[in-house]
Amino acid sequence: MQSLVTEYYSFILTPSISLLTSALSPKDPPSPHAITAFLSVLRALTTSFTTDTRDFWTSPVHFNQLSPALLSALSLVPLSPLLATPLTTAIVELASSCANSEDQLKTINTAVLKAMRSETVEVRLIAVKVEMKLYEKMGEEWLGLLPETVPYIAELLEDDSEEVERETQRLIGKVEEFLGEGELQGMLQ
């Protein structure tokens, strides 16, 4: 039964992507209806990612269609605080469902790292939180992406926002749970 949830998603993939890319605009304040629709799509995607037993999302056709829309939604977080947790969960579950594809994990990480350099504090903050959740969920599997992540972490340690700096310290602690205490700090020197 679980695999059917994912298979049915092929019928609504295109409308889901359309909604992710057009429901919320950074130019206009979002309507409650638009936020609700966006959150509904995120919840449906998350369910699909967690129940994917047939590598539906690992298929390049599906991953390459969805990932740009989902990952670019990080820039929409400042529009509504309601988006942060469901978006984080969706991204982490997508990564988990694609754990066997190094290229797809790298695509996800690259987008999160790009968000870490956003001019908007809220976007940088959510990117750090997403990265932390990726380490929580993926553990040592995510360590392979650490070399490209280290320069971004180093930059965020000197962020103008104290909250971003604080979350970056928490991220370092999470990474060091897998690397060993003080190991990442040594790389950041």
pLDDT tens column, 55-85: 999 999 999 999 999 999 999 999 999 999 9
pLDDT tens column, 25-64: 877 788 899 999 999 999 999 999 999 888 999 999 999 9
Tokens of 158: 């000197």
Percent of residues, the chain, with pLDDT higher than 70: 96
Average pLDDT, the chain: 92
Nearest to 170 by CA among 118, 139, 135, 123: 135
- What CA–CA distance (Å, rounded) separates 70 from 177? 28
- pLDDT band, residue 179 (cuts 50/70/90): confident
The distance of Cα 61 from the centroid of its chain, to the nearest Å, equals: 19
Mean pLDDT of 104-126: 97
- What CA–CA distance (Å, rounded) separates 166 from 172? 10
Confidence (pLDDT) at 157? 94
Confidence (pLDDT) at 1? 46
Mean pLDDT of 88-106: 96
Q: For residue 146, what are the contacts with CB-CB under 8 A and spacing of at least 6? A: 175, 179, 184
- What CA–CA distance (Å, rounded) separates 129 from 170? 9
Torsion of CA 175, 176, 182, 188, to 10 degrees: -10
Confidence (pLDDT) at 83? 95
- Whether the Cβ atoms of residue 102 and residue 61 lie closer than 8 Å to each other: no
